[in-house]
Structures are given as C-alpha cells and as structure tokens.
Structure 1
Amino acid sequence: MEQNIAAARIAFLYPGHAAEDDYPRLAQMVSPAAEVTVVHTAFHEDAHTVKALTEMGSPQRLTEGAGHLEEANLEAVLWTSTSASFVRGIDGIGEQIETLENALHIPASTTAMAFARAIAAINAKRVAIAATYPQDIALLFKAFLEHFDIEVVQIASHGIITAAEVGTLDKAAVLRFATDNNHPDADALLVPDTALHSAAWLEDLEVAAGKPVLTANQVSFWEGLRLCGKLIPQPGLGTLFRMNPWN
C-alpha cells in the first residue's frame, strides 16, 4: 500500500571516505525514497585512537561540515562517526548535537545516540558488540552504552586502525565477523563502525546471527528518518526497520 508521506531530506556528515555509499543505497531501499546529502568532513589523522577521534568529532570540524549545508533544504542532520562521537562522552555528544542544531536550525543527532535509541526501539536489554576498533576504543563504546542501562554481555575487537581499511571488508568478511562475535545471551548484535559496509546485507546479517543486528549506517539512517518524523515500517532493512515506531 502506498504510504502518504513525503520523502525525507537528510544530511550525513561523514569523515573521509569508506562506506558512505551506504547512505544513498539506504535512501533507495525505503519507500518513499529519501533524499540524502553526504558531506565529507576533514580531520588530521585517519586512526581509531582517542586523540584522532576527539579531533575528528570536534565542534570545529562539525561546524566546517555544516557550512556546506547552509543553503540546503534539509529536515535533519547526522554526525555519522560512531567512535568520533562516543569517545567524547555524553557531554561531548551533547555539544556535537548542539553545534549542528545551532548551525543549521534543524534536528541533529549522532550515530552513537542513534545506537542507544535503536536498542531501546527493539527492546534489547543485553547486547554483544562486534567492533572493528582496537580494544581500548571498543571499551569506550561499552561504557557509553552502560549510561543507558544496556548490558554488554560480550565485546570483540577486530583491531583495525584506519577507517579506510574497514571500508574494504566484503560481504563474506562482514558476515563472518558478525557470526564469530555473536553471543547466545545477547538480545541483539551491534556492529558499530560507519566505515563498515552493511546496507546491502542487513537481512543476511540477521539470518547469520539468528537475532536482530544493528549496524552503524543502518541506525544512522533510521535516526535521520526518526528526526524527520517519517519513520514507517520498511522491509529488507532488518528488525529495526520492521518495528512500528508508534507502538
């Protein structure tokens, strides 16, 4: 049945180049198709280290990125680096959101916050994390989730330093990484790196894991639709998108 809803208009601020093609792919997978704009933000170093990620997600970098969107007709904007959000802590995430909302005067969020909301939306209480990051960064994601009373029953790290390398992982590698790092006690499996391709394989990931799987680009896009007030159940995009947001 045709939904009486206008296309969502969402911008994604994305550091560098890795898996940003997931966003236009996701835009074509929903009905009605969304209108997305991807702005590539600058940074000093492509590295999953606290120092590099803190600089990457600084208000200065977000303000620079937002400057490319001042004339755009948008409904929402996302800062789409999970790690360059949660490494700054809850207060730092609030600063990121405030920076974008003050610059563009539209609702804003970050991928880290999208994960917290998506976990609540599927009513998951315990999660496993399959992170591409080094262990110290993965543990900071665990600490972030615990702010929301989300229990992490297992955390695994791939130990990849650069986003560019993460972006080269193919379907077989991503499915294997997810299944190898699943946990029977987890209500959902989280795959938190926006540099990792996942949009084309969301249903495959859930079949392989035998449970809901939340990936960074998936939850970012979902969060964008939520901010636009245009979330409706969608097939082919995993459990998260099959949920009725009004329940």
Structure 2
Amino acid sequence: MPTIGFIYPDHAVEDEYPFAARLLGADVRLPVEHIYGTDLHAVPELLDLGSPERLAEGARLLAKHEPDAVVWACTSGSFVYRWDGAADQVAKLAAAAGKPASSTSFAFANAALALGLRRVSVAASYPAGVAEYFVEFLGAGGVEVVSMASADIDTAAEVGRLSPEAVIEFAVAHDHPGADAVLVPDTAMRTLDVVDEIEKRLGKPVLTANQVTVWEGLRLVGAHPRTDALGTLFRTGGA
C-alpha cells in the first residue's frame, strides 16, 4: 500500500485528499499535515510560505506516517520560485524527508506531459500578477498557455468558500478553442467532486490542483491507480 504524504498550507479544502483516497480504494494512503504562514496570494508571502525551513517542518510532521513520497501541495508556493528555484525547493524537501518529493507546480507540468497536452488554457484564482508566474512556469516545462484568466482573489480562504457551481462556471467560462485542456491551479479550490462535470461541459481534459497533486505523489512511487471519478488523468492512469 503506497503512502503519499502531503504538506498543505494552512486550512482550506484539505478534505479533498481523504476524498481522493476513498475514490482510489483501500490500497492508497494519503495523509496530510499542515504548515502555517499566510494565505495571501502575494509573491513575498508565497516565497516565505514555501521556504526550506517551513517545508522541512512539514516533512518532520509527515514522518510519523512513514510516507513513501512527499508532495508540497501548494501551486503558488512553488511556481513563484520559477522552474529552477522550484526544482531546488523539492530537492531540499526530498533531502529533509529522506523520500522522493515534488510539488503541485511540477505535478501540473508532469500531468500535462503524460496526457500529451501542449497548449492549455489557465483559469486561475490568483491575482493576475501572481498567475503570470504559473504561465511562465508551464512554458519552462514545455506547455504553452494560449489563454489565462484571473479571478483576482486575494486569499486562499476566499477561494475555499467558492461554491461548486461557481468553480464549474469559472473553469468553463475560461476555456479557449485552441487549448488541449483547461488547468485550474489552486489547492485551496474544491474541484475533485466537479472535475468530471467540467470535462463533460468542455469535452476536453481538465487538470486541477489537488487532482494533479495526488497523481504526482503516486507517480513518484510508480503507482497509477485508476478511477472514473477524477477526470481524464485518473481514467487513463496518466500513463
């Protein structure tokens, strides 16, 4: 049974991880531990949130679960470091945990690669200035963003309070005809129970933050469980 540990910033919709575990079945454990800082979507605060010291604390908290891999479950707190800085961030996390490690930003890049997605639309909750870092990050990973929309929401707490209908409408409204998929990049946004509906409405794959984060953790240990309830990525196994 693979055990994937997730470091989640503060509190918002961390119950998505046990929800995913239930959908994936008894052969997967997805424990979550929290680190605390700001929930503000602003670059200086996000750089502090994803600092080596904070992530090392998350790794220490996860140790009791004896994870096979660990993932920093925060998109903005990883992509603001840009590609090389985010790679250094997860290398230090892996060293602190003594286990393979990754982050949500790399999860998006790897999931897009696994599905053969080269041109995407981004429906971001963040202010535009923060979301642009994600566009840059994806470009560094070989994924072209053909359209980017920003909801200009300042805090993770506000994102976590969005209704399922609001999440669906936001993602659907910001598709682009030239995009292979729509990416929704905030682990504070509840998406796992609506990703299939969004895909049905759009007729194309949708990648969301908590979805790709779970997938990435399992990928790190060579596991590719499938379910019909978490979008194209998990229907195909992403492999």
User: 8 Å contact 1:135–1:157 — kept in the other structure?
Assistant: yes
User: 8 Å contact 2:104–2:209 — kept in the other structure?
Assistant: yes
- Which one-letter code corresponds to 2:141 in the other structure? F
Q: Which residue of 1 aligns with 2:86?
A: 93
- Describe how 1:29-178 pairs up with structure 2 within 5 A: 29-43=23-37, 45-178=38-171
Q: Which of 12, 17, 20 matches 1:26? A: 20
User: 8 Å contact 1:178–1:209 — kept in the other structure?
Assistant: no
- Which one-letter code corresponds to 1:72 in the other structure? H
User: 8 Å contact 1:126–1:152 — kept in the other structure?
Assistant: yes
For residues 21-79 of structure 1, the C-alpha deviation after alignment (integer angstroms, 9 at most, x for no partner) is 11110011013442121111011x22101001000001011011111123332111100
Gaps of 5+ in 2: none
Q: Which residue of 1 aligns with 2:201?
A: 208
The whole-number CA distance in structure 2 between the counterparts of 1:94 and 1:10 is 19
Asked whether 1:240 is paired with 2:233, we answer yes
The whole-number CA distance in structure 2 between the counterparts of 1:243 and 1:152 is 23
Q: Which of 12, 25, 38 matches 2:6? A: 12
For residues 83-115 of structure 1, the C-alpha deviation after alignment (integer angstroms, 9 at most, x for no partner) is 000001122212221122111211100000000
Cα drift, residue 171 of structure 1: 0.8
- Which one-letter code corresponds to 2:86 in the other structure? I
The whole-number CA distance in structure 2 between the counterparts of 1:240 and 1:230 is 13
TM-score w.r.t. length of structure 1: 0.93
User: 8 Å contact 1:232–1:245 — kept in the other structure?
Assistant: no
Q: Which residue of 2 aligns with 1:226?
A: 219
TM-score w.r.t. length of structure 2: 0.96
Gaps of 5+ in 1: 1-6
- Which one-letter code corresponds to 2:35 in the other structure? T
For residues 150-206 of structure 1, the C-alpha deviation after alignment (integer angstroms, 9 at most, x for no partner) is 111100000000000100011100000011111111000000000000111121111
Instruction: Tell me how many residue pairs correspond in the alignment.
Output: 239
User: 8 Å contact 1:31–1:234 — kept in the other structure?
Assistant: no
Identity of aligned residues (%): 46
- Which one-letter code corresponds to 1:139 in the other structure? E
Q: CA RMSD in A?
A: 1.2
User: 8 Å contact 1:115–1:216 — kept in the other structure?
Assistant: yes
